[in-house]
Amino acid sequence: MSLFHGYETESFYDEMFEAPGTPRPHYQKLYTRLRDMSAEDFRKRTQLADRALIQQGITFAVYGDEKGTEKPFPFDLLPRIIPAREWEFLERGLKQRLTALNLFLHDIYHDQKILNDGVVPRELVVGAVNYRPQFRYADPPGGIYVHICGSDLIRDVDGTYRVLEDNLRTPSGVSYVLENRIILTRTFPSLFRDLAVRPVDHYTTQLLANLCELAPAGREANPNVVLLTPGVYNSAYFEHSFLAQQLGIELVEGRDLFCDDNIVYMKTTRGPQRVDVIYRRVDDDFLDPLTFRSDSVLGVSGLVNAYRAGNVALANSIGTGVADDKVIYAYVPRIIEYYLGEKALIQNVDTYLASNPQDYKYILENLDKLVVKAANESGGYGMLMGPQATQQKREEFAEQIKANPRNYIAQPLISLSRAPAFVENHCEGRHIDLRPYLLFGKESITLIPGALTRVALRKGSYVVNSSQGGGSKDTWVLANEPHPLSQTMGGMSQTMGEGTMMQSLPQSTNPNPTLEQGGAQ
Amino acid sequence: MLSRDADACFWIGRYVERAEATARMVDVHYHAALESGLPGIEGADSPMRWDSLLAISHTAEEFYKHYDVYSDRNFLHHFAFDTENPNSILVSWSRARENARSIREQIASEMWEAINISYLQFRDWDVDRILAEGPHAFFNRVKNASHLFQGILNRTLLMSETRDWLDIGRFLERGDQTARLLDVKYHDLLPAYQEEDAESVEPLGVGSTMDMHGWIAVLKSVSAFEMYRKIYRGGILPASVVDFLVLHPQFPASVNHCVKRVEGCLKRISGNSSSAPSTEPERVVGRLVADLTYSRPEEIILEGLHEFLDGVQVRCIEIGNAITRTYLSY
């Protein structure tokens, strides 16, 4: 039985299929390759991939299990494919957004023109949990605040891309982009060749180059770059360790570092050694007990002063969280217009602010239709899925909103697009999102042509976070638009190469080449 | 090198070595007892000499706290899997693994994967499976896992400080384990000689069949039997065994060899090419090396092997402490 037998697109935007049995042009080759694969064969490939993950220790511990069972992070072998033209659009839109948000951060930590002009209400910024007044008038190297950005995008029921939220602090997940790719190139090598999938493995090279650029004056020749992790018990520890290894830099914890006379050192077996650039994966709050939370044992006393003095660089900078606040999010289109004089290319999701009296009323009256989010939570916590929640849960949230309107926003429930995922012995549609990664260097912004596609593996679920049962998919960005003629030729050579000449016949007599061409957007 | 990473390497070396030592020891003694010709009784009179194994691993207290029955099954579980036993194979290996996880960016991915895959395999075993497939199948697997790890280490890791720290952990642990093994087993085997003639050194060479068997087991448990044969033509004599396991500079598990290796690593780390010590750890190690280099086995036995070996163990602890103070947590 075919993997896609009985596959339904239902009322959602499906990434792979225009209609049941009719793949979109950029998925045609994948479809042809998989159509006749047995579920058994596919499951075997999945198990091989899982075993590779377990052996490499890319796993999470199942809490409360005495035998210490570890499971690989859920991973769906079916890739998500993004055609070249769509990606080009996303690239322009994401770079525009990041440029504007960086200007916004520079402004609010300096002259605050945007607040003086009343474009963003002052109280929303200075009242934000992640606004850091201690850091005003400090000058990060090159004026860059957000060196690594991993914003979340979704597609609605029409297939329109929208930004769901910005992640400007310490976005995680890029290690899965790189690891997933390695697994997929082993699983479907011929498809990579035929589809011209753009590579992603230059991510760490670009990141290292950008980090080295940040070194303080006089230290540029051979800067000591380190990655600061909260430690082995952090859920993203695998990623920290993986990145440090790929970047060839030391992985340090707060207890490995100390400051003396505004210089940061690490403790080595040959005595203290100066640190120039810190790629930190520790939140602002825990970075420096002298400046922020005094109970933090993860940070380094005196780090913020060393940073202000220009003796060490941090990526990302301090205080960036104010710009990915879910309330400020609603103002991002206005922020883009204010600084760049352009309309936002990628739209936001419609957002109601509980701090706005009209919206406040609307939110409380329509809790059963809305998704409510706390302004500063992440990982799918502090969230109410109105349509699916119990009456009691909705009432609890109503109370919380009334108590602290500034802290809540609401959005209509978006019917996230779906992509096929392998479930038991066939494919079913599951909701997905998209997290691309941008690197902001002194010369330019780089968008890595690939992304983390997170998938809500539970049937009907909209929550893609790994802490809530989400998995991931490899994301293929194509170098060229699919073309009906070359596509058929490529398909033929592929199927012949694998010794199954019969399969090339139905494809080479594809009845609908024009329809497919029209379908590409 | 980051002090915390050096510390992790040191402990990976120690824990992998400890798991291997425990596996060898239990394996050899289990099988030696089967061949001893004594009836296979369980309980305190078991020929397995489980009590001496408890003494070597310093875990008698843990054992009697958790088990009522003195049975092969309980002892095998205690040494192989018990999470209450801080020196069980599974506990040692999982600690090596956690340390390796914390520095996996420092070591080759194959090294981490070797530790991780072995851990996952050990966890698939339990006492029932050991008794069904034979203890040797399991303990040999542990030994091979340690060898695989060391082989990958030798083949992939830079000739760098990382390697020196792994080696310091490995050799310090190995030397310490050899000293402990000999200390306890000598105590077990000793009475036979004392009864015959407590005054003379001569009886040290004369053993009953059973004692001979015990000494062979001691040699086998550190894979020393065949190498011993190549060097000593006079048969299995306790003085020769002591010479080989404690003083011989070329046998890889002898205390002397192990401590010398530690000294070499420490000097490479500090960049000291002179014969005089440049750091406290070098001084403590150097002194022990000198004692082991210039001692004779007969005088060690006459002055009391137990006292001597006890002193060696205390000094191994001192070396560890000096290293920690100087390099790892200053």
For chain A, what are the domain ranges?
A: 350-412
Whole-number Å distance between alpha carbons of A285 and A217? 28
Q: A350-412 — its CATH code?
A: 3.30.1490.270
Cβ of B104 within 8 Å of Cβ of A245? The answer is yes
Q: B309 and B189 share a domain?
A: yes
Q: B214 and B121 share a domain?
A: no
Chain A positions touching B4 (Cβ under 8 A) are 252-253, 255-256, 267
Cβ of A269 within 8 Å of Cβ of B105? The answer is no
What pLDDT does B37 receive? 63
Q: B151 and B188 share a domain?
A: no
Interval A171-216: pLDDT, tens: 989 999 999 998 898 888 888 888 889 999 999 999 999 999 999 9
Number of helical H runs and strand E runs in chain B: 16, 0
What pLDDT does B123 receive? 92
A residues 42-71 closer than 8 Å to B (CB): 54-57, 67-68
- Across the interface, of A54, A67, A251, the residue whose CB is closest to B105 is A251
Segment among A292-296, A314-318, A347-351 with least mean pLDDT: A292-296
Q: B109 and B189 share a domain?
A: no
Query: Tokens 């596959």 sit at which residue?
Result: A7
Whole-number Å distance between alpha carbons of A354 and A373? 10
Cβ of B116 within 8 Å of Cβ of A266? The answer is no
Average pLDDT, chain A: 87
The token pair at A23 is: 């793949």
Task: Answer with the residue of higher pLDDT: A425 or A314.
Answer: A314
Chain A positions touching B120 (Cβ under 8 A) are 54-55
Cβ of B4 within 8 Å of Cβ of A253? The answer is yes
Can you give the residue range of the structural domain that contains B112? 1-157
Nearest to B267 by CA among B167, B158, B150: B167
Chain B positions touching A266 (Cβ under 8 A) are 2
Cβ of A57 within 8 Å of Cβ of B328? The answer is no
What sign for the dihedral angle of Cα A433, A439, A444, A449? negative
A residues 258-287 closer than 8 Å to B (CB): 266-270
Q: 10-residue block means of pLDDT along chain B (330 residues)?
A: 94 97 89 68 64 85 87 92 93 95 84 94 93 92 96 91 96 95 78 46 45 82 90 86 94 96 96 93 96 93 90 95 89
Judge whether residue A520 has pLDDT over 70. no
Residue B280's contacts (CB-CB under 8 Å, 6 or more residues apart) are B322, B325, B326
**Domain end call among B157, B185, B211:** B157
**Domain end call among B157, B182, B199:** B157
B111, closest residue in chain A (CA to CA) = A56
Minimum distance, in Å, between the CA of residue B187 and any CA atom of chain A: 38
Judge whether residue A52 has pLDDT over 60. yes
Split into its structural domains, chain B has a count of 2
Judge whether residue A406 has pLDDT over 90. no
Cβ of A68 within 8 Å of Cβ of B123? The answer is yes
Judge whether residue A379 has pLDDT over 80. no
Q: B151 and B247 share a domain?
A: no
Segment among A17-21, A274-278, B70-74 with least mean pLDDT: B70-74
Minimum distance, in Å, between the CA of residue B57 and any CA atom of chain A: 24
Residue B25's contacts (CB-CB under 8 Å, 6 or more residues apart) are B53, B56, B57, B181, B221
- Across the interface, of A232, A253, A269, the residue whose CB is closest to B1 is A269
B330, closest residue in chain A (CA to CA) = A267
Q: B243 and B130 share a domain?
A: no
Scored b (16 or more CB within 10 A) or e, B261-283 reads bbbbbbbbbbeeeeeebebebbe
A residues 216-255 closer than 8 Å to B (CB): 232, 237, 241-242, 244-245, 250-253, 255
* Most distant CA atoms of chain A, gap in Å: 74
Q: What is the band of A310 on the pLDDT scale with cuts at 50, 70, 90?
A: very high
**Domain end call among B133, B157, B181:** B157
What pLDDT does A318 receive? 95
Interval A464-473: pLDDT, tens: 876 677 899 9
ipTM: 0.72
Q: B135 and B162 share a domain?
A: no
**For the residues of A289-332, what is the DSSP string, one character each?**
TTTS-TT-SSS-TTHHHHHHTTSSEEES-TTGGGGG-HHHHTTH
Q: B87 and B130 share a domain?
A: yes
What sign for the dihedral angle of Cα B185, B189, B191, B196? negative
Average pLDDT over residues A272-288: 95
Cβ of B2 within 8 Å of Cβ of A54? The answer is no
Burial class (CB in 10 A: 0-12, 13-18, 19+), B237: middle
Q: B330 and B234 share a domain?
A: yes
What sign for the dihedral angle of Cα A243, B90, B313, B232? negative
Cβ of B3 within 8 Å of Cβ of A267? The answer is yes
Chain A positions touching B109 (Cβ under 8 A) are 56, 245
Q: What is the band of A56 on the pLDDT scale with cuts at 50, 70, 90?
A: confident
Average pLDDT over residues A91-116: 97
- Percent of chain A exceeding pLDDT 90 equals 61
Nearest to B264 by CA among B244, B286, B245: B286
Q: B8 and B144 share a domain?
A: yes
Cβ of A250 within 8 Å of Cβ of B117? The answer is no
H-only helix segments in A56-142? 84-108, 113-116, 122-126
Element (H, E) at A165: strand A161-165
Whole-number Å distance between alpha carbons of A421 and A426? 8
Q: What is the band of A387 on the pLDDT scale with cuts at 50, 70, 90?
A: confident
What pLDDT does A519 receive? 33
Q: B271 and B128 share a domain?
A: no
Burial class (CB in 10 A: 0-12, 13-18, 19+), A77: buried
Q: B213 and B329 share a domain?
A: yes
Rg for chain B (alpha carbons), in Å? Answer: 20
